Structures are given as C-alpha cells and as structure tokens.
C-alpha cells in the first residue's frame, strides 16, 4: 500500500487494489478447496465479481482521472463494483469460517472475518494468522 503511494495517482491505488483482490481470491479459493466436496461452492461468480471490480478500477479510475466533469455517469458501475467487492469478501469469509467450524457457516458466524477483510490494513493482522493456523491444521490432518 505504501509503495503504491509513490506511483502516479490512479495507479498507486490500482496496484493496491489488484494485490488486495488477488489476496481475497487466494483466501477464498484455497479455503473453498479445503472444504469437503459436498460443501464446496462454485467460484465462477467470485471470479466474475473480482474481474469486474478490477476492470472497473482500471477503466473507471483512468476515466475519472482524465474526465473530471462526468463522474456521475459512473455511479451505477461504481455501485455494482462495490457489490462485487462485498460479495467476494462474503464468499471468502464464509469459506474460511466454514473450514474453521467444520460446518456451513452463517453470515453471522463469518462477520469477524468479513470485517477483517473489509478493513484490510488492520484486519490482515487477524485474518492471515487465522488462515495460516487453519491451513496448517488441515495439512496436519492430511499427513496423519
């Protein structure tokens, strides 16, 4: 995030967002794959949601940076991109908590991880160690 602040304005935030989206996808995909096959969910919607959000960040960020007077036209696209980001955080949080609880997690079960993903700079200190612990225990179960 700090390295992105040294880049030209739209590209610093874009670099951070692409890395963040990749991290959320990696969390969601890896935790979803570790779930039993009957509880795994399709990741096609997740891929589309993150692809749209990243594409919007590239196109929308460049468009806003170059055309200051027509920001209002992007409002529906921006709202949909926000929905896609929230969906990806929800998918990741639910997959992580389902893996941790060894049952299908509800949204209320997943709230802590969801907010940890939402408030990334602070939440990463809570979410990533949890992921490391869960994946480590899953690997221990597979080797035992």
Q: Greater confidence, 96 or 72?
A: 96
The angle formed by the CA atoms of residues 97, 98 and 104, to the nearest 5 degrees, is 130
**What are the tens digits of pLDDT across the range 10-45?**
566 777 888 889 989 998 998 888 888 888 889 999
Angstrom distance (rounded) from CA 58 to CA 44: 21
Angstrom distance (rounded) from CA 91 to CA 38: 16
Average pLDDT of the residues of the chain: 81
Q: Name which of 79, 80, 112 is nearest 93 in CA terms.
A: 112
Unique residue bearing structure tokens 């096959």: 37
Q: Greater confidence, 88 or 109?
A: 88
Report pLDDT for 141.
53
Report pLDDT for 71.
63
Domain limits, the chain = 3-143
pLDDT-based confidence at 134, cuts 50/70/90? confident
**What are the tens digits of pLDDT across the range 38-93?**
888 899 999 999 999 998 888 877 666 666 666 667 788 889 999 999 999 999 99
Report pLDDT for 70.
61
- Between 75-101 and 44-66, two packed helices, what is the crossing angle to 10 degrees? 150
Report pLDDT for 86.
95
Q: How many Å is the Cα radius of gyration of the chain?
A: 17
Residue 53 in tokens:
């959000």
Report pLDDT for 99.
86
pLDDT above 80 for 136: no
Report pLDDT for 65.
61
Report pLDDT for 142.
56
């Amino acid at each position: 995030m700090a390295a992105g602040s040294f880049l030209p304005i739209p590209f610093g935030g874009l670099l951070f967002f692409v890395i963040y989206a990749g991290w959320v996808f990696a969390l969601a995909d890896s935790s979803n794959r570790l779930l039993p096959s009957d509880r795994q969910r399709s990741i096609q919607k997740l891929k589309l949601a993150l692809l749209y959000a990243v594409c919007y960040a590239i196109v929308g960020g460049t468009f806003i940076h170059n055309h200051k007077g027509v920001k209002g036209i992007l409002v529906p696209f921006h709202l949909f991109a926000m929905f896609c980001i929230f969906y990806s955080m929800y998918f990741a949080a639910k997959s992580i908590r389902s893996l941790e609880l060894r049952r299908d997690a509800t949204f209320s079960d997943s709230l802590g991880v969801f907010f940890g993903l939402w408030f990334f700079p602070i939440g990463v200190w809570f979410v990533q160690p949890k992921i490391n612990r869960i994946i480590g225990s899953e690997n221990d179960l597979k080797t035992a």
